[in-house]
Structure formats: C-alpha cells, structure tokens
Amino acid sequence: MELRHEMKISAVLCFWCFLIMQGLSWAEETQVYVVYMGAAPADSSVDMLTESHLQLLASVSTRGKKKLIRSYRHGFSGFSARLSKEQAVAIAQKPGVLSVFEDPIYQLHTTRSWDFLQQTSVEIDSNLDEDGASSPRSISDTIIGLLDTGKIHTAFPSHFALLKVKYFFSRNLAGIGQLQRPRNGKLIGARCYSSDEDIAAVFPGELSPRDTNGHGTHTASTAAGNSVAGASYYGLAAGTAKGGSTSSRIAVYKVCFWDGCPGSAILAGFDDAIADGVDMLSVSIGAPARYMPDFDKDPIAIGAFHAVAKGITVVCSAGNDGPTSSTVTNAAPWILTVAATTIDRHFESDIVQGNNKSIEGEGINFSNLSKSPVYPLIYGEAARSNSSSGEGFASHCDYETLDSKKIKGKIVLCINNKNDDTSEYSKIDGLQSSGAVGAILIDDLEKAVANTYTSFPVTKISSRSADEILSYINSTKNPVASILPTITVNKYRPAPAVAYFSSRGPSSQTSNILKPDVAAPGVNILASWIQEDDSPDNVPPGQKPSGFNLVSGTSMACPHVTGVAATIKAWNQKWSPAAIRSAIMTTATQLNNDKAPVTTDAGLTATPYDIGAGEVSPTAALQPGLVYDIEPDDYLFFLCNYGYSPSKISLITTIRQGFECPANSSKDLISNLNYPSIAISNLSGKGSRIVSRIVTNVGAEDVTYNATVNSPPQLNVKVVPDKLHFTKYVKKLSYQVIFSATNSYAKADLFGSITWSDGVHRVRSSFAVRST
C-alpha cells in the first residue's frame, strides 16, 4: 500500500507540473473557500438558494458562476468556490454570512469484535415491550449513511449479498429527495463529490462513487454488513464476520480521495444525506489534533449540527493522535464521539532463540522461515555502518545507518517508536532490500496493534522482552533465532484495553463537555476490503487477494457504535439523537473480561478522558431505563455559553426567530447542558459548583430510582434529590449535583460517577472535575 501510494503521488506531481508548464497560473492565485450561511430558510427553494449564492459571488467577481464549485441547499445554506484571499475577505463581510474559511483537508481515522461486545454486555430481557421499548419497525428500514471513501466494491457478494443498487446516485444528480426504502438491496444509494477534473484525468476512479481505497468498504461492512461464515484474512481471524445492524440499509457518500477529505465535499455529503432522509451518519474522518477549527469553521461540526436538528444521529471517530492528552477531535456536543479499544483477539508471532527460549511477539506475517532457530541474530547497533554518523540511529535501524553486509541473511533487532525520523515501514523496506531475513521491533507503545507485514517476517516485542534477547545475544558468539508465522489467539486477556493511538480528552475546545463519549473495538478489526489484484506486495505468496482486511483506528471503532445506534433507532423510532446517545453512554461497561477496570495499553486504569463512559454494550443499550434528552434550544444555549452572539446563532438555526442569549451566559454554564456525562472545569478549593440534569423514564411506568455516588476522596458530591419516582403521568424529573472540595483537594483531574438504579437498570453518568 505504501508503494502504491507513492506511485500515485508521483503521477499527480507530474501531471500538475504539466499543467503549470501550460501556463495555468490561476491555480496559484486562487484556492477553494467554504462560505457558511447557516440554516436554509424554510421559505426558500433549492433553486432560490443557488441563485442567492451566485448573486453573492457576483458581488465580488464577474466570473462568479464559473468560480462556484458546489452549492449547499438542503440541510443548510452555503457554497464552496474558488476565490482569491481578497474576495474571500469581502464575502465574509456580507450580511447573512456566518463564516468563510479555506477548504480544509481532513484525514481518515484509520468479526470477532461483535461477538466480543456481546460477551461483555448485559443480557437483554427476552421481552423488550414489557420494559417500555416499542416494537421495532422492520429493521431493514433503518438507513445508515457513511461519509467515507466510496461505495462497497461489487466484488463482495458476502457482506453485501443484497448488492442490487436499487437507487444509484451519481455525483451529478441533485435534488433526488427522500431515499426510497426498498424491501431488497443492502446498498440503496451512492454519491461522489470529486470536483477535481484534473486529478481525475490521472485517477479516473476519483470521479466514481466506487471505493478505490478500501476504508469505506471496511467501515460500511462493520456497521451493517451481512453475516458471513468462513471469513478470514488469509486464514487469520477465521470465523463469522458480521456488522452491527445486519438488516440496515446503506447510503454511501464518497467525500474522501487519494489526498484526503476536503471540507467542501464533507459538507456536500452532509447536505445530501439530510435531504436523502438517512437515519444516522457514520463519519470516520476528522481534523488532526494540531488543527482544531472552531465549530462554525469545522465542516463536520457544521454538517452534524444541521443533521442532528433533522433527527439524524451523527457518530464520529475521536481521532488517532493519542496517547497525548487533549487530542480528541469531533468534540461538538451534538456529535457522538468514539474512542478505540482492543478486543480479545491477539495475533501472535513468536521468536524462537537458540537457547530454546521462546519470546512472545505481536505482528501479522506469513513467514516461511524455518521453525528452528537457525538464522543469525544481530542488534541494529552492532550492524552500524562505518560511514554513518551520530549516536543511536543504528539501534533504530534508520535509513543508511546499517552496513548491509552485516545484516544480510540475518534477523535484525531494532528499536522502534513513533518519533523516529524513519517510519516503521521504511525501516522494514530498507532491511529487506539489504538482504535481512527478518526483523524484531522493540516498541512498548505500539506492540498491542498487530501491523501487517505479509511475507517478510516481522514481529514486535516489549522492551522487557528485548532485554531477554539482548542478554542472549551477549551470552554467545553465534546467536541464532527464527520468527514464527502468525497465529490467532482468541479469548485473550485482558480486553478491552484503550488503543495507544486513540485520541484523548479533555477537549481543547471546551473542557465542560466530557469527550470522548464512549469506546468501541478499533484494533485489528476484520471486515470487507477491496480486492486489489494489482498489489501483489500485500498478498502472501501463492494466495489470491483477500476480500477481507485487518485494520486499526478510531475509524473502525466509529461504525461499531453506528451499528448499535441503528439497532436502537429501529426499536425506538421516535427517539432523538440525544436519547440514542444517552442509551449508549449510560449503559457502557467499565470492566474488562477479567472483571477488572479497563486499562490503557500501558497498563494504567482508563479514565473518562480515555474511554468516555466506557465500552459500548450493544444489548444493554436497548434497555437504558432512563435517558438524558436534549431539546433543540439546549444546543443554542450551549452556543451562547460558548461565546457566540445571538445574531450569529439566529443565522445558524431557524428553530427560534429572535433568539436571545441569557445575560449570565458563560463557559462554566456549559456544564449544565443535559448531557449523559458531567464535566466541570476550574473548581476552586474553597468553592462549589451546582449542575442540573433532567432524566426521562423510558422503562416501566411506576418505578423509583435511587442515586449512588462514586467519588474520589478529594471531592464531596451530593445528589439532590437522591430518589426519583416516576409514574404513568410523570415521565421527566430533574435533579442537581453539588460538587465541592474536601480538605485533601489539590490540583488534579478527578473522576467518578453517579448511578441511578431501580434494581433492574443501572443508569451511570461519568464525571470529570478539573481544579482551578
């Protein structure tokens, strides 16, 4: 995949050089901007909106129509256009314009997982109707929209056995209206948003809704793929693969291409999905942690806001910039944000030493080495080239630091970490081209993720295991070893654990909303993939390209939660996106398969900044007992407290004309948003904070819930009242939580939970408190 990607980049660079030689210098003077104008007026048709966008463009350019790339006319109003910086500044001053920003390029956050989730879930009562859940409509009516790399490859009659495209949408069709709900057909719609005709001349597939990457196929099959027996990745992870909501339909919006996911395309996908009438959206895309645009300049936050206003649940990946704190992305409170965890499946590739000791390693390779330890073993530092300079680089097997004569025919032990100048796969390519027969990478951080090395024998070990190998190397003149082919180990313990790459909270945008919301499997997930016959490097010798792949990322965690949300929606057609999110969060589990608290892959107890409410529980989420619902106005008050002006908020939404913000609006009051978790920042050692919540009973009619608090010794946490009695006529009740410091209070992030229980349901809310 790396080699193919480099070839694509070279082709594109050559093509652009050709364009420049033809004198197309305009590309240097202008660039794509997004103009966001808030909610689409209820009394405006799509044609009227497009005309208003053209008029706005004409006010700054005589070539307005030619500059327009895409008009947003369904869920919200705005457009993307090629403008100069001066023209963009001029448009930003026009009445009715909320924001103008350069078109950002976001990145992808890249079937035993469902069985594992079911094992860790609370079992459902056999009769849901008696506990308040409505009888499900035909579950196949639930439509999941995916903003990703395109539609499922037609080479997969497995996960998408009903792949008759009943309604196929091309990139040139607009205003199709509501998606039909056919009785057959897994994939019911596909759109593509590539507007780059020049790039398409090099890669024709970029103009098609077809998936040429694999990522979109993988996420779609995870969310809603059919059950497929005999699935595996070349014999590994063998079993039955399935999606979370196997009867849901899929509508695909291709917004990601060879170079990333343009914000203008993401907005177009949201806009059409709203018009098409999907039930939920799965978005495994996000901005990098170093670039956190404000909510009115973030295409995902903008699109999700308007989708949620139309009753569409939006599930997004949290990002892959962990384990550093404050890296979580897609943190708007109207988004359901998902972190990534491991499952109880382990891909073991062991090392056998000449002293008859075996060292456990992790990695996916199809080694053809002898199982006997007959290959010379050398540490990278010992293979340093005489011409290399600097200290330590040879131990990391960095490019051009090793003497190829010293490593030829040997297994090389290398230090590896994410901050190395040379990437992991570049190291592997260098070792292989220099004649090494295998590599052992020392990597405490990434060891839990089994990367794929195909036919070249590679495995990862911990630094503790490396000490054993180095001790052996130093104990003999002729150290020898072998790397065994990968085997699948199921029922691995402990699991789940938080993946090292999963982005962490608290949110850098507002620490008074606790993000991420929940965690789900995102490490080495088996799901459908495109079969690339032209990529032999990715296929073991003698094998045909697989229709499945093992991939890791919060991208993979996101569709797991989307599948759960789709099932909840099927059982509770009238539930709002906030109620669905609440059901998922308050029923999440905090325990692993050893019945101990979930940990990070570094072995530390996971906090809500790592996993939010916990690991998603598909079955328990169908019977939450109580939910924390959010009214449309609540998000407007959030925007007030966040700092947006009433005039700007009035443009964002058409829910309330003449909307005014409370006089006491402040960021501290964001904690009062009726969220299923609680976050408080700036609690002083002498002060206290009061947070209000409202719960809605969705279970038995006559029931009493009692509150219990789990808090650290540094905090006093009191719930008032601590009993809530619901009746046939009393469905909603409010309570307050009073947080204050004890004598042992100190600067720290403090975590705990509040749980309401009626003896059957446990409705748990995590909290995080930051000191001043």
pTM for the predicted model, two decimal places: 0.90
User: Which residues have a catalytic role annotated?
Assistant: 148, 215, 555
Under DSSP, is residue 331 helix (H, G, I), strand (E, B) or coil? coil
Task: Tell whether the model's pLDDT for residue 12 goes beyond 60.
Answer: no
Minimal CA–CA distance to 344: which of 523, 595, 80? 523
Helix (H) or strand (E) holding 707: strand 703-710
Q: Measure Cα distances from 29 to 87, 102, 196, 380, 720 in Å.
A: 11, 13, 17, 49, 61
CB atoms within 10 A of CB 646: 15
The pLDDT tens digits of the residues spanning 457-475 come to 999 999 999 999 999 999 9
Amino acid 153: pLDDT: 52
The pLDDT tens digits of the residues spanning 589-634 come to 999 999 999 999 889 999 999 999 999 999 999 999 999 999 878 9
Task: Tell whether the model's pLDDT for residue 44 goes beyond 80.
Answer: no
Amino acid 161: pLDDT: 41
Phi, psi of 71 (to 5 degrees): -110, 130
Choose the weakest-confidence range: 201-205, 491-495, 563-567, 741-745: 201-205
For 605, which DSSP code? B
Strand order in the sheet with 285-286: 261-262, 105-108, 285-286
- CATH number assigned to the domain covering 627-771: 2.60.40.2310
Most confidently predicted of 74-83, 101-110, 474-483: 474-483
Say whether domain 29-103 belongs to CATH 3.30.70.80: yes
User: How does residue 655 score in pLDDT terms, banded at 50, 70 and 90?
Assistant: low
For the chain, the residue count is 772
* 729, burial (CB in 10 Å: exposed 0-12, middle 13-18, buried 19+): exposed
Both tokens assigned to 672? 């009062």
User: How does residue 390 score in pLDDT terms, banded at 50, 70 and 90?
Assistant: low
How confident is the model over 296-312, as a mean pLDDT?
A: 96
For 129, which DSSP code? G
Minimal CA–CA distance to 363: which of 286, 299, 456? 456
Mean pLDDT across the chain:
86
Domains of the chain by residue range: 29-103, 107-340+496-617, 345-488, 627-771
Task: Tell whether the model's pLDDT for residue 643 goes beyond 60.
Answer: yes
For 664, which DSSP code? T
Minimal CA–CA distance to 521: which of 286, 108, 244, 258? 244
Please spell the DSSP secondary structure of 545-604, one letter per residue: PPSEEEE-SHHHHHHHHHHHHHHHHHH-TT--HHHHHHHHHHT-B-B-TTSSB-EETTSS
Amino acid 150: pLDDT: 84
Asked if 140 and 570 count as a contact pair (C-beta separation under 8 A), the reply is no
Minimal CA–CA distance to 525: which of 560, 563, 474, 476? 560
How confident is the model over 711-729, as a mean pLDDT?
A: 96
Both tokens assigned to 128? 């849901």
The pLDDT tens digits of the residues spanning 169-199 come to 433 333 333 444 444 478 888 899 876 655 5
Both tokens assigned to 123? 């079992």
User: How does residue 202 score in pLDDT terms, banded at 50, 70 and 90?
Assistant: low
Strand order in the sheet with 358-359: 358-359, 351-353, 480-483, 375-379, 411-415, 438-442, 458-461
CB atoms within 10 A of CB 713: 10
- Sign, CA dihedral 419-421-425-429, equals negative
β strands within 362-457, DSSP E? 364-365, 375-379, 411-415, 438-442, 452-454
The whole-angstrom separation of Cα 206 and Cα 224 is: 24
User: How does residue 650 score in pLDDT terms, banded at 50, 70 and 90?
Assistant: confident
Amino acid 723: pLDDT: 98
Q: Which CATH class is domain 107-340+496-617?
A: alpha beta
Q: Which CATH class is domain 345-488?
A: alpha beta
CB atoms within 10 A of CB 324: 9
